[in-house]
Chain A
Amino acid sequence: MKIEQLVPLIILLPLIGGIINGVLGKRLPKMVVGSIATAVMFVSFFLALNVFFQLNEATTINLFTVIRLDDFSLFARLLVDDLSIWMTLIVTGIGSLIHLFSMGYMSHDKGYYKFFTYLNLFIFAMLILILGSNYFMLFFGWEGVGICSYLLIGFHYSDENKGLLNGLAARKAFIMNRIGDLGLLIGLFLLLATFGTLEYTEVAAKLAELSPSNWMLFGITFCLFVGATGKSAQIPLFTWLPDAMAGPTPVSALIHAATMVTAGIFLVVRSNFLFEAPGAQLTQDIMLYVGLATSLVAAFIAMRQNDIKKVLAYSTVSQLGFIFVALGMGAYTAAIFHVTTHAFFKALLFLGSGSVIHAMSDEQDIRKMGGLKKFIPITHITFLIGTLAISGFPFLSGFFSKDEILAHALHHNPLIYGALAFSALLTAVYMFRLYFVVFHGEFRGSDHAKSHLHESPYNMTIPLMVLAVLSVIGGALNLPGKHWFSHFLNHNVMGLDKIEELHVDNGSLITLMATASILTLVALIGAYSIYVKKKSLPVEDSQLTGWAKLSANKLYLDEIYDFLFVRPMEALSKLAHQLIEIVILNNIVLGAAKAIGKSGDLVKKIQTGRTEWYLLWMVFGIIGLVVYYLVKI
């Protein structure tokens, strides 16, 4: 089949799967529901592979016109190039594995069919986001993934104890994303006002032609970036992501680690020609420093988290910050490279944590785990690989992709390099802490929990193994010196071909790699000596002091946001209702009514009902008229 037929099919398959399960899923056996959902994903993935090998030039595929007004149209159109097909491979590939994993993980859940429906629909929306040829399609998918994320975070909404909390987490995610969406929407309107179109290629073409003012370009790129901070969880809109862990673990792996949260990064890479334009320099700098701050803050918070998923969530935020630093430096291919390896090892870690949680009968507190390596060996090995990969252990995938960004940073500004390297060190520390506390030492849970410990079934461990292999070899995609992946993306992605690759000489390359390796090893040895040799355990939050307390309490950011935004808003709501609505507006209306009533009283005094008075008034009136006319004449 041709690309023109394959690509729409790739998008439609998950939608079809979602519709089948949504309509019939309730009556179908779980096995069938899960198989349908997973099968459409695998087919989508293989079709995407097919397209990947066929694709040479960037191809536009017209589907239909959404809206056609006189001077303004919105098109459902696809743009297939190396960037979008690469992201499609990640989304469908990792998506397939996570669907497979979910078949085991969710097997006891009552909302099984709903879960797979939402998951399929999410993939559908995500593919629209990636494959669309214009910002409207992107926005459509953007909102679509947001709503699926909302539904999946709040998936266990009728839980006796946590139902309302899960709902709250979902709501928080949705609202924070909506704040970012408003920025994105304004960005879209700015684009429309400036270029008169939302098609990527047309915007790029007109950019050179119209050369809009620097401030306009800053405005556009800044608004797009605001949108990205929402979806990709950057300061100040990142606090929803850790809460989003309320969703089932496969959801955290797919949506809140591997795919949806990279939408902001995709947006920036897709719009690289805008961000590279003069005037957008300021946005790039803002992006760089926001990314850097996010990376450090999130890594710092992750140090003292005791919920296995929370550690990984903050780690995700931190890694995304890392990638935004790359974007801020214009290192787009390095960013997508890290997005790719991060998708591998973060999906692996989340699924691994899911397997742990599954074995622990839904316990997520790492203080109640320990010594799990004996009980769940496959999960243990794969989790270890994931940990090593994310920590930048030599020659695993994370090592190369981080190194690429660090090399750019060193070239850009040594201070930024220093800060990034520190963030990477923190990453290694908290990840090894997590690994050792969970898998080494003695089991600290109840005997009841111990008796339940079991390795997960094959449909859960196979995805782990596949992802582990990818996490190991993923770095080979873009080996230093070869840069296959960079050449691949530069080949036909608009704008990227114009960006010069950074060439690092061998000497500094070796220095960089050696430094990174040493840092990782230091973290490994440090964590090993503390958590395995000394057998020290994370203590109760109440006993922490100073920095540790700050970290454990997430820098009190939720409290600060609550104080600064939530409560004033609620107070304003009550004030507006009680003061303006009830006191002021209502009294004006009542006052007007009373005034009319009063005027009626005045008139009433005249209406005495006595004829002589009426006659008198009449006489007065006649006299008045006569006088009036006399004067007038």
Chain B
Amino acid sequence: MEILLIPSLFALLALFVPGKVVRVFGLVGGLASVILTCVLVCKFQQNGGQAVTFFELAQNNFGFTSKMGYDGIGLFMIILTNVITFIILLSNFNREVAQNKLFTAMLFLMQAALLGVFTSMDGLLFYIFWEISLIPIFIIALSFGGSDRKRTLTKFFIYTFVGSLAMLASLIAIKSYATSFAIEDLMAVELSSKVAFWIFGGFFLAFAIKIPLFPFHTWQPSTYSTAPMAGTMLLSALMLKMALYGMIRWMVPLAPEALNDFQYPIIVLGIIGVVYAGVIAIKQSDMKRLFAFASISHVGLIAAGIIIFDKENLTAALIQMFNHSLVAVGLFLSVDILEKRMGTRKLEELGGVAKLAPKFGFMFAALALASVSVPFTSGFIGEFLLLKGLYSYHWVVGLIAGTTLVLGAVYTLRAYQLSMYGAPKMASFEDLTWNEWLAYFIIMAIIVIVGVCPQMIIDTVGPSIDQLLESYKISNTIIK
């Protein structure tokens, strides 16, 4: 329970902390969660990877159990959330917003909501946290975002809200067959294929918008580029992972009867996204937009991998989700550093920064290379396994998805070189401050560690994936 209480408490207290120390307060809060995560990981391993339930209400008439807990997958998402939140706090430390009480409070609220999403073992609770998470990101983007934010955010809000409603409808529909909202009750429900289709579809709409999958992505590039750095980081590194996680934990296990109908379309949409967004990213001149499209391209691959729904692909998808979060945070930090120091993020107005700011040049280069999945980065293994999985599904799918190898190199290196190479276009450029450097360092360190021993992640999530697949198989055989 403390895992949720700490960020909530910090969110509340942040509103009353004096303005001067609020950023230090934020950092302490982020660190507290990270330390707690370490403790949880140790405990989890001592207990041999047993699933943990840390909160449960007595059964009531309404069927709302509010059960909360985590297994290996949930723990993995907790680690991701807390580490990324800390990095976001750290990289914002020298920004103006870090001095803002509201901003800090909202960031912690976001963290709490995300942790709630990842630990909910009750359908209704999952939905509640899912919706709560919309509030802080909306406030952050609205209060601290760039131009044209009202229009963009309205679009974003309506889009995701439509998805959420569809998900709520699905949840209520499936609950009507079950005794409670508890996940095991919902999973035990046997559905006719027609009903399963609609329930699956409702979840899918919510998740497809949040990820976003082609063609539900049109809110994403404008929202990413309007939101402040922290907002973009939250959206890309954490919020979209809620949807990918939702696919794994809720969508398929609850309505596995419909997986056959949806598998092929989702894979197709995923790899269309890989190519389509990758191609568009090639000629973008706004760096933030460019990486926004790149993000669509990368997550398309992950979504396609998840929906194959076997152990290898789920593992690969989880590794790649982790990798994507870290890389996305690093890349958007790089874009923000350029924008803050240069006043622009247009590629044609940038250039030659590497010479003036060697530390920044190095770190940005390392991130760019991690983003194109070179050896010794977490992306190398993740991408290898994902492409292998898609290839085993069908070789054409594997081949088309494989173009990400080439497209990724084209747009990422173009963005990096046009902004960093050549003769400097400015007189001076302040190199990384300590907090920025540290943020980069943590990101790169994790990327390399996971890249060298990916087995760590596999061991954490493996048993839980087995369990998940086991229950999924049972419900599937009952149908057949």
Contact = CB atoms under 8 A, between A and B. Distances in A.
Nearest to B355: A158
B398 A573 contact: no
Given A160-B423, A569-B282, A585 B218 contact: yes
Given A167-B417, A167-B421, A171-B413, A186 B282 contact: no
B218 A589 contact: yes
A13 B418 CA distance: 35
Contact of B381 (A67, A181, A569): A67
Nearest to A140: B375
Interface stretch (B4-12, B60-68, B181-189, B385-393): B385-393
Contact of B312 (A69, A174, A573): A69
Contacts of A136: 384
B319 to A, nearest CB: 10
A573 B282 contact: yes
A193 interface: yes
Contacts of A67: 381, 385, 454-455, 458
B279 A586 contact: no
A161 B311 CA distance: 52
A112 B460 CA distance: 42
B18 interface: no
Contacts of A585: 215, 218
A157 B398 contact: no
A69 B315 contact: yes
A168 interface: yes
Interface in A170-221: 170-171, 174-175, 178-179, 181-182, 185-186, 189, 192-193
A69 B375 contact: no
B341 interface: no
B368 to A, nearest CB: 11
Contacts of A150: 413
Contacts of A580: 276
B406 A572 contact: no
Interface string B270-307: 00000010011111100000000000000000000000
A192 B388 contact: yes
A159 B351 CA distance: 12
Contacts of A185: 384, 387, 402, 405
Nearest to A150: B413
Interface residues of A, number: 55
Contact of B405 (A147, A164, A178): A178
A179 B404 CA distance: 10
Interface string B372-414: 0011100011001101100110010011001101100110011
B19 interface: no
A195 to B, nearest CB: 14
A158 B421 contact: yes
B276 A576 contact: yes
Contact of A144 (B282, B375, B385, B391): B375
A175 B406 contact: yes
Nearest to B352: A158
B126 to A, nearest CB: 27
Contacts of A66: 381, 454-455
Given A158-B354, A171-B413, A182-B403, A572 B422 contact: no
Contacts of A576: 276, 279-280
A50 B323 CA distance: 41
Contacts of B420: 157
A69 B381 contact: no
Contacts of A411: none
A543 B204 CA distance: 66
Contacts, number: 136
Interface residues of B, number: 53
Contact of B423 (A163, A189, A573): A163
B158 interface: yes
A178 B408 CA distance: 10
Given A147-B374, A193-B392, A585-B218, A570 B283 contact: yes
B417 A144 contact: no
B68 to A, nearest CB: 30
Interface string A491-535: 000000000000000000000000000000000000000000000
A139 B375 CA distance: 9
A540 interface: no
A65 interface: yes
Interface string B445-465: 000000000110010001000
Interface string A49-62: 00000000000000
Q: Classify the interface of chain B: helix, strand, loop or mixed.
A: helix
Nearest to A26: B358
A81 to B, nearest CB: 24
A110 B194 CA distance: 68
B369 interface: yes
A374 interface: no
A581 B280 contact: yes
B422 A164 contact: yes
Contacts of B159: 589
A70 interface: yes
Contacts of A586: 218
A316 to B, nearest CB: 23
B369 to A, nearest CB: 6
A593 interface: yes
B148 to A, nearest CB: 14
Contacts of B311: 69-70
Given A143-B374, A175-B409, A179-B406, A68 B458 contact: yes
A583 to B, nearest CB: 11
A72 B375 contact: no
A573 B282 CA distance: 6
Given A160-B423, A163-B422, A178 B406 contact: yes
Contacts of B354: 157-158
B386 to A, nearest CB: 12
Given A178-B405, A193-B392, A585-B218, A167 B387 contact: no
Given A163-B352, A167-B417, A573 B409 contact: no
Contacts of B276: 576, 580
Contact of A189 (B218, B369, B391): B391
A297 B462 CA distance: 53
A167 B421 CA distance: 7
A34 interface: no
A573 B374 contact: no
A143 to B, nearest CB: 5
A125 interface: yes
A189 B421 contact: no
A569 B279 CA distance: 8
B283 A577 contact: yes
B304 to A, nearest CB: 15
A159 B354 CA distance: 11
A158 B358 CA distance: 11
B375 to A, nearest CB: 5
A95 interface: no
B479 to A, nearest CB: 24
B392 A189 contact: yes
Contacts of B312: 69-70, 72
B387 A189 contact: yes
A463 interface: no
A585 B220 CA distance: 13
A574 interface: yes
Contact of B422 (A140, A144, A157, A570): A157
Given A147-B374, A175-B413, 5 more contacts: A68-B455, A157-B354, A158-B355, A158-B421, A166-B421
9 contacts: A69-B311, A70-B311, A147-B375, A182-B405, A185-B384, A573-B279, A573-B283, A588-B215, A589-B159
Interface of A: 65-70, 72, 125, 136, 139-141, 143-144, 146-147, 150, 154, 157-161, 163-164, 166-168, 170-171, 174-175, 178-179, 181-182, 185-186, 189, 192-193, 569-570, 572-574, 576-577, 580-581, 585-586, 588-589, 593
Please give me the 10 A-B residue pairs with the lowest Cβ-Cβ distance, nearest first.
Answer: A158-B355, A167-B421, A164-B422, A573-B283, A163-B422, A167-B417, A189-B391, A157-B421, A573-B282, A147-B374
